[in-house]
Amino acid sequence: MTAIPASARIVLDTVIPARVPWSAIIRKGQTLRIVDSHGQQAVDTLFYAASDFGERYSGQDTLRAQGSAYVTTGTRIMSTEGRTMLRMVADSCGLHDTSAGACSCESNTVRFGHQTKYLHACRENFVLEAAKHGLSKRDIVPNLNFFMNVPLDPDGNFTVVDGVSKPGDYVEMIAEMDVLCLISNCPQVNNPCNGFFPTPIQVVIYEAGED
C-alpha cells in the first residue's frame, strides 16, 4: 500500500467494523482512502452534495462518463446533476461495481429465498446512517460497491463472484465538492461479495500538506 505522504494532514483515520455503517463529510480537495483491510470485503458507498442533499451519486452517470461498466483509477464519480463529485486517483484492486446496488432485506428474499428476510443488510445500514443527516429511504439510491466483483458478459449475464481484493488493497478519491459520504460495510453472507465472512475496513480522510 502506498503510504500517505508524511506532509499530509490526517483529518480522520478510523476502522469500520464488519457489518457496520459510517458517514462523514469530505471537504473539497480532501482525499478519501478506503482500505479493504482483510481482503474480499464489499464496501457499499453513497455520496451526497453537502450543500444540497437532493444532488447525489448517480451510478448511471458515472458509468456513462467512464464509457465502461466498471469503476477504476480515472473514473469521475458523477452526481445526478451531471457534476463530478470526486475523482478516483488510486486503485490497487482494479475491480469495483456500480450496477448491482446494495443488498436489502427485501431484495434478499427475492434473490436467496424468503428465509433470508431477517438478516442485516446494507440498506438497513444506509437508512440508519442517512437518518442522522435528515435523509430517508427515499434518498437511498443505487450505490458504488468498492472491491465487489460483478462480471458482466457480452450476452448480458450478470453475477456476483469472488472478490479479487487482497488484504490492504485500497482506493483513493479526491473530492471536487464538499460531499457527505455514507458507507455500509456490507454484512451479506449469501453471496461471495464478502468471501462469506464480513471483515473490518479502514477509512482515512486526509489533506495534502505543503511540500
Residues in the site for Zn ion, rule: CB under 5 A? 103, 122, 186, 188
* Of positions 63, 90, 119, 174, contacts another protein by CB under 8 A: 63
Question: How many residues bind to another protein according to rule CB under 8 A?
Answer: 57
**What Rg value do the Cα atoms of the chain yield, rounded?**
16
Bridge partners (DSSP) of residue 39 are: none
Segment interacting with another protein, rule: CB under 8 A, options 6-14, 24-32, 169-177, 192-200: 192-200
Backbone angles phi, psi at 93, to 5 degrees: -105, -55
Compute the distance between CA of residue 161 and CA of residue 52 in angstroms, rounded to an integer: 36
Segment interacting with another protein, rule: CB under 8 A, options 9-17, 25-33, 137-145, 175-183: 137-145
Residue 134 binds which one of Zn ion, another protein, none, with CB within 5 to 8 A depending on kind?
Answer: none
CA-wise closest residue to 101 among 60, 136, 154, 134: 60
CA-wise closest residue to 208 among 25, 14, 11: 11
Segment interacting with another protein, rule: CB under 8 A, options 8-16, 28-36, 85-93, 111-119: 111-119
128 binds another protein per the rule CB under 8 A: no
CA-wise closest residue to 193 among 126, 106, 96, 114: 96
Bridge partners (DSSP) of residue 17 are: none
* Of positions 11, 152, 174, 208, contacts another protein by CB under 8 A: 152
* Of positions 99, 128, 133, 178, contacts another protein by CB under 8 A: 99
Q: Which parts of 8-27 interact with another protein (CB under 8 A)?
A: none
CA-wise closest residue to 88 among 118, 45, 56, 123: 45
Cβ contact 186:160 at 8 Å:
no
Alpha carbons within 13 A on the beta-carbon side of 89: 14
Compute the distance between CA of residue 104 and CA of residue 209 in angstroms, rounded to an integer: 40
Q: Which is nearer to Zn ion, 45 or 188 (CB)?
A: 188
Segment interacting with another protein, rule: CB under 8 A, options 24-32, 66-74, 178-186, 203-211: 66-74
Which residues contact another protein (rule: CB under 8 A)? 38, 53-54, 58-61, 63-64, 67-70, 80-82, 99-102, 104-114, 123, 136-142, 150, 152-160, 189-192, 195-197, 199
